[in-house]
């Protein structure tokens, strides 16, 4: 900054003025200019976001302070393979490549309440979500929007491969891993198996991709939405404030 400032100053060709008052005034103006050059940096907050932001205010995102890692397709974190439930392949031309992971966002699917522990029922629900997503925006989506899903039995399912950017938070998908909990948590509670699976999944993703707890969020902390529902939001506040911080 100093070098750039000096290059932008006119070259002085007249004899040096040794008057003490003039010298002092020049030093004051020079110091003031340096202060203006360096005032573009904004203060960064690392405080965990409150559970819900008002719809009228955009959240201020903390700048990255640690090394982020680029996910690869083979990293499934113990999830049931996408091939066991999806009846179609991802469409690469409709997706962007994933950037290094910096955030993890929790969702619910927001459909009818879903409490069955049937594996086949969970697979069918995921396929319903995938097909619904493929019809959005005139068919411009490339796959289910979430990278992972957790069912009522606490099973973890692979969604969109991690090599592809998700589609789960409008305008905030870059480097953002999406995890959906199957069910509607405005109308049902989170059971113990799900809570344990959410915690375990978050720990695994945070450790693998070096994501701090301050960047583990829910959908309603990015935008004005009820997602992930009242009961899941409450569970997430507890998990972030207690177990994840202690781990």
Question: For residue 236, what are the contacts with CB-CB under 8 A and spacing of at least 6?
Answer: 51, 106, 198, 216, 218, 228
Looking at residue 66, what is its pLDDT? 58
Residue ranges per structural domain of the chain:
2-37, 82-246
> pTM for this one?
0.71
pLDDT averaged over 10-residue windows placed end to end, the chain, 247 residues: 39 43 46 35 35 42 54 69 96 96 98 98 98 94 98 97 96 97 98 97 95 96 97 97 76
Q: What is the CATH number of domain 82-246?
A: 3.40.80.10
Res 150: pLDDT = 98
C-alpha 242/C-alpha 247 separation (Å) is 9
In this prediction, residue 242 carries a pLDDT of: 85
pLDDT value for 32? 41
CB atoms within 10 A of CB 62: 16
């Amino acid at each position: 900054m100093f070098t750039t400032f000096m290059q932008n100053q006119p070259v002085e060709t007249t004899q040096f003025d040794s008057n003490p008052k003039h010298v002092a005034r020049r030093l004051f103006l020079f110091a003031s200019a340096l202060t203006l050059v360096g005032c573009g940096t904004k203060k960064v907050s690392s405080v965990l976001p409150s559970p819900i932001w008002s719809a009228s205010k955009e959240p201020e995102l903390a700048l990255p302070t640690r090394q982020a890692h680029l996910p690869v397709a083979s990293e499934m974190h113990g999830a049931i393979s996408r091939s066991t439930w999806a009846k179609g392949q991802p469409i690469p031309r409709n997706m962007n490549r994933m950037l290094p992971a910096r955030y993890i966002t929790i969702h619910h699917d927001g459909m009818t309440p879903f409490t069955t522990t049937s594996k086949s029922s969970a697979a069918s629900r995921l396929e319903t979500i995938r097909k619904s997503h493929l019809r959005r925006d005139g068919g411009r989506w490339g796959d289910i929007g979430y990278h992972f899903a957790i069912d009522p039995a606490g099973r973890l399912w692979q969604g969109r491969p991690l090599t592809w950017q998700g589609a789960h938070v409008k305008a905030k998908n870059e480097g953002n891993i999406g995890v959906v909990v199957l069910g509607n948590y405005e109308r049902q509670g989170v059971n113990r198996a799900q809570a344990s699976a959410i915690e375990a999944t978050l720990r695994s993703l945070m450790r693998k991709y070096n994501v701090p707890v301050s960047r583990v969020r829910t959908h309603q902390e990015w935008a004005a939405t009820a997602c992930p529902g009242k009961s899941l939001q409450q569970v997430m506040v507890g998990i972030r404030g207690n177990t994840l911080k202690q781990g």
